[in-house]
Structure 1
Amino acid sequence: MRPRSFFAKGVLALVLASALIISGSPISTAINDEETGVFLFPSNGPGSESVNKIGIIYDDAQTLLGTVSNLVDQSKKSPPENAPYCTSVNDPKCKDVDTLWADQIMGPCESASDEFCIESIYAKLSDGTKVKGTFKQLLPEKPPLPFEASTELNLGKGSAPSIWEVSGVKNSAGKESYAAIFSVSGYAKRKAEGSNPKDFYVAQLSAALFAVNVESSTTQLYPLKAPGVGTDGIMVSGCATNDESICAKRVSFPRGVRFGATLRFAKPPQYWFYGRLYKPEISIQTRSGSAITLDVEAEPVTVPVFEGTTSWDKLPKKLQDFYLTGNYPQNGRGGYYEKDPNKWNVYHTPRSEESSYLIDWIPVVGDKARVMSTMWFFRSIPQDTYGNQAKCYGQGSKVNGFVTTNATSYTAGPPSYNQKSGTLDYTVAAPHLTPTGKDMLGTYDLQIDADVARCLYGYSDAPISAEVSIVNADGGENRVATTNVGEKTIAGRKWLVIAAYNFTFSSPTLKVKISQAGNKNNSSSNNSSAGNTSSTGGTTGNNNQMGSGKKPIPDIKCVKGKQFKFVSAKKCPKGWVKKG
């Protein structure tokens, strides 16, 4: 019998009080090597012909993989297997379309003038030694839907995932191989029919590094042919990427080694990052004009993967009603193919930012993680989802903030402000136990540019500091090994740093109560600007008028197709439908 998983909301109460010197080293999550691995879709699970069940999987690998480079008319990109893909912005199939959409997988930089490419992949050992990786190959050798670069339009060349060798840095398979799947997604509009499109707007940057074992397959593999089309090699065989006969099989990262990537961009993408990084260091260097180099270095984190299945009749009505809409990412045969839900064979595969489904699955599944998976990746939150937060974020080559954690599900943006409790709230979710029954120990790192934080939450220029506690849902204290909270100067910039390590997930809630020296109400009277969430599902606000005494407008959920976002307004924007 497959182990099942239990997830619960978590809350971290961080009470900001007096000056605090940030020091100390986080305690790593104590996971035994026999617990780490890669989740594969069960051969007898939903999606097989013999099982009539519905299931749910929270595994970042399933959402990071499955994309190929493609350039297409945005209005015709679904279904992906029949979309009219283009080889350039001047391709007849794209020449006169109103809005172009591009997913560009970044390949290695081939010359000093290349943009939207990978300059280097490297590892940093515990003694500080930096080991630069060597590019070995693209896999597949040729992308299925390639397109030409147009640097003047902020569009790179459509490439394929790349395999790198980092000498002496062996993964769990004893290999020195790592797969880089870094991509940018965005769109461009034409001013008029036949005119050149405007610059491509980079809606999201996604960067994932996988430890892999590149091996020949004894059976035929089916590589990706279009976005989400041909994923058997990924989901069944465990490939990070593959062609017809070679699989870069996902394995575990080595422990105690930091990994890094240096990326080039003709223009900077938007910079609020979230993902799976431990103690990240992120820097941006301007090269010439608007061109920048982004460097991200961090240790991988070990994340509990959630998987559970049940028959339709055992699902709570709330979940049944949701799944009958068909408006969710899925794998297998669900409502699109079969009207009778009792005959469905399907997995719901939400992103890690979409935590709302977890609580509804709690009565249905068990309390252990399916597997512990080592991960290294980060994403950016699209700027067009910032709402009235946008004025708080710096322009140009500046990192506004980032949040990273090993929780299975978490909020992608900065904490939201809770007017009632006067706290900054942050939601995480994870199994209580590891696969072998040990307590799952959590890590949480949040850094916000100090000026951005003051704008978002409306506190003054007075020093910020904190006393940290983590409180369980029953009111009891949660064990915390190490916490860092306060302002810290890094490379000449001030950051609000909030971190907690080694806490358990037996249902706490994360809260940050801000107070400053000389502030009577323990909060600023300035107006805050936050209040929207990203279309990926991650909250980036509801931080209305902190300390101003004004009643905030509650968030409402707005849906458009398979996208959703929360908006602090009475009605949804044009083209979006209110849900809930």
Structure 2
Amino acid sequence: MNQRFTKFASPLISLVLLFSVAAFAPPARAADSFVYTDFAANDFGLWSQSSIYGQDQKGSKKLEDWKQLWCSGWDDPSCSVYDNLFADLILSPCVNEADRACLDGIEAKNASGALEKLTLYGEATSQKIARYQFKSGTNLVDVPAGGGLSIWKSSEKNADGTDRLYAAHILLRYIATSSRQSGEAADKIVLSDFKGQIYPVRLKSGAACTEFAIGTQCVDSANFDGSEKLAVTLRMNKDLTGWIFGRMQNSEFAVTSLDASYNKIRIGGDVTFVPELSAKVAKSEISKDAKLEKYLRDFFTVGRVGVSVPNPGSGSFNDGGVGGNTSTTYAGFLEAQTTTRLFSVNFEKFALFSAFEDHFKPYSPAASNNGRNILRQTNSIFWNFGANTYLGTNKCSADKTKLHGMVVTNAPIFENGPPEFKDGSLNYRVAGIHKNGDGSVFKGRYTYIVQSDTARCYYGFSKAPIEARVEVVSASNSSQVATVLVSEKDGFIKLQADNFTFSTPTIKVKFTQDSAQPTATTPKAASKKSSTLTCIKGKTSKKITGVNPKCPAGYKKK
């Protein structure tokens, strides 16, 4: 992932995710000696309940010395001593117009092709986190309550006559840092980012639910058929700024102010197919792929690139703990007779993809549920989104006063955030395999919606109309032919590129404006004031008005 952005899963959160996934790892077998990685488009993940968790590092830099914390609420005494706390709070549905930090509504396309507002069916029976005022430095921060996943009902039925239902998982993440960890005078908390997904579900009776429950009913995931269009409206704190990214197509995005502290955000679009990728290579075969061998040798010798503590082998996991939970040398990695997993959430994804590129195949991840995290098994059709904080230096993208825009794509690997402004164009990298599992060519789709003011800021343009050109450049630096749409409406510019191919193309957008138009920085000519002069000739008097009036010949100034 481009290091200009915070990863949605921070290094500490990655540790939690790693342990969560590891709980489902199959036992090692003597002849099972592989290296494995995957890119699951479902890596946005689902929390089955609102949670507060973190670490008490106990003054040690060694992960094995840390104490993992799970908190029932902000006042839980078992979490009173911490270095970092992460609050993943699921937004509950809004009940009245005064509610804030809540899910305002869900819409779904009906049989006539229009978006229909869905009716709230219910909220999951799960752990709730009470609203809390956190003393952050010298300020009090209102942290919203955490609820459960909600279910929404359409007026239309499924083909088999059952209710058409959708689950909504909209999650805010707050990060609290203790003063002992930060070295500052007081503890602090920030709204880090958020993520969400909508997906179809079915209800059934049962005491043991595989995903989650509403009252006495179990909720199970279902698949999209690929024709759906959805929209979600949220009431969100204005502290959430930056960029939204996600999995959908033909997207819509709007932000309106509710009051001094909250925005109403609407995100809409069609569902999209995203080929999920996995690669499994026998350790005895690694030496036959020079690119993969170098990547793995560097990783197990030096460690991960772009992290504060590289730690050779950190971020990998050996099934069954064979050879240790993590191999720390390249020789030890090869000798461990087990599958060594490299979880992509812990790595710079473009480098990881490049290393395993020749070995990837489409797959569908198995479903899992460890009581806190749910992974759905799907047909790889999704509708989800997320946002995280921009850490770059570009003043236009780093403006913390607003949400700048949205970037969505069906590419398996993409940059989490806005395009990079470089050499006069906005560049955005994606990656994926060239062909689908059935042998057909996979066609990429990309939508970029940006506030008009932000786009103009990059170039110093005026409010006059601007034009955009979209170009898709392949890894070999050759241009591709793609279908391109550009429009501007309600303060947002929308650019869409469809039908490009992979493996690692860069989408380049360049804005232009008629040079005859004044730019935003062009100073206006100083306006000159008129004055009136009285001129006399004998008993005759005349008044002369102008910017620089002068008396006619034979007259003199009175």
TM-score greater than 0.5 by the shorter chain: yes
Contact 1:326 1:336 in 2 (8 A): no
Structure 1 portions without partners, runs of 5+: 1-41, 222-232, 234-238, 527-580
Alignment length, in residue pairs? 445
Q: Which residue of 1 aligns with 2:387?
A: 380
> Which protein has the larger Cα radius of gyration, Structure 1 or Structure 2?
2
Q: CA RMSD of the aligned region, Å?
A: 4.1
Contact 2:28 2:338 in 1 (8 A): no
- The 5 A counterparts of 1:219-258 are 239=211, 241=212, 248-258=219-229
Pairing partner for 2:142 from 142, 154, 166: 154
SS of 2:393's equivalent?
helix
C-alpha distance in structure 2 between counterparts of 1:297 and 1:304, whole Å: 21
C-alpha distance in structure 2 between counterparts of 1:497 and 1:407, whole Å: 19
Q: Which residue of 1 aligns with 2:314?
A: 327
Q: Which deviations, in whole Å up to 9, do the C-alpha atoms of 1:162-210 show, x marking residues without a partner?
A: 22222316499975122211111112467899xx988842101111112
Q: Which residue of 2 aligns with 1:465?
A: 467
C-alpha distance in structure 1 between counterparts of 2:66 and 2:217, whole Å: 23
- The 5 A counterparts of 1:75-90 are 75=56, 83-90=68-75
C-alpha distance in structure 2 between counterparts of 1:276 and 1:331, whole Å: 31
Q: Which residue of 1 aligns with 2:506?
A: 509
Pairing partner for 1:58 from 34, 39, 43: 39
Distance 1:459 1:254, change over 3 A: same
Distance 1:347 1:173, change over 3 A: farther
SS of 1:269's equivalent?
coil
Q: Which residue of 1 aligns with 2:426?
A: 424
Q: Counterpart amino acid of 1:321?
A: R
- The 5 A counterparts of 1:474-493 are 474=476, 478-480=480-482, 482-485=483-486, 488-491=487-490, 493=491
- 1:407 deviates by 0.7
Identity of aligned residues (%): 23
Q: Counterpart amino acid of 2:100?
A: E
Distance 1:390 1:377, change over 3 A: farther
Distance 1:461 1:47, change over 3 A: farther
- 1:479 deviates by 4.0
Pairing partner for 2:50 from 43, 49, 69: 69
* Residue 448 (1) aligns with residue 455 (2): no
Structure 2 portions without partners, runs of 5+: 1-20, 134-139, 287-291, 301-311, 365-377, 522-558
- 1:107 deviates by 2.2
Q: Which residue of 1 aligns with 2:413?
A: 409
Q: Which residue of 1 aligns with 2:103?
A: 118
TM-score by length of 1: 0.65
* More displaced 10-residue stretch of structure 1: 256-265 or 271-280: 256-265
C-alpha distance in structure 2 between counterparts of 1:164 and 1:79, whole Å: 43
Larger strand share, 1 or 2: 2
C-alpha distance in structure 1 between counterparts of 2:316 and 2:93, whole Å: 31
SS of 2:103's equivalent?
strand
C-alpha distance in structure 2 between counterparts of 1:449 and 1:102, whole Å: 30
SS of 2:232's equivalent?
strand
C-alpha distance in structure 2 between counterparts of 1:190 and 1:329, whole Å: 28
Q: Counterpart amino acid of 1:400?
A: H
Q: Which deviations, in whole Å up to 9, do the C-alpha atoms of 1:288-307 show, x marking residues without a partner?
A: 33133222222111111111
Contact 2:88 2:172 in 1 (8 A): yes
Q: Which residue of 1 aligns with 2:119?
A: 134
Pairing partner for 1:500 from 497, 500, 503: 497
Contact 2:149 2:168 in 1 (8 A): yes
C-alpha distance in structure 2 between counterparts of 1:350 and 1:142, whole Å: 29
Structure number with the bigger relative contact order (C-alpha 8 A, sep ≥ 6) is 1
Q: Which residue of 1 aligns with 2:350?
A: 355
Distance 1:360 1:517, change over 3 A: same
TM-score by length of 2: 0.68
- 1:56 deviates by 1.4
- 1:350 deviates by 1.9
- 1:375 deviates by 0.8
- 1:86 deviates by 3.5
- 1:266 deviates by 4.7
Distance 1:489 1:94, change over 3 A: same
Distance 1:426 1:267, change over 3 A: closer
Distance 1:447 1:46, change over 3 A: same
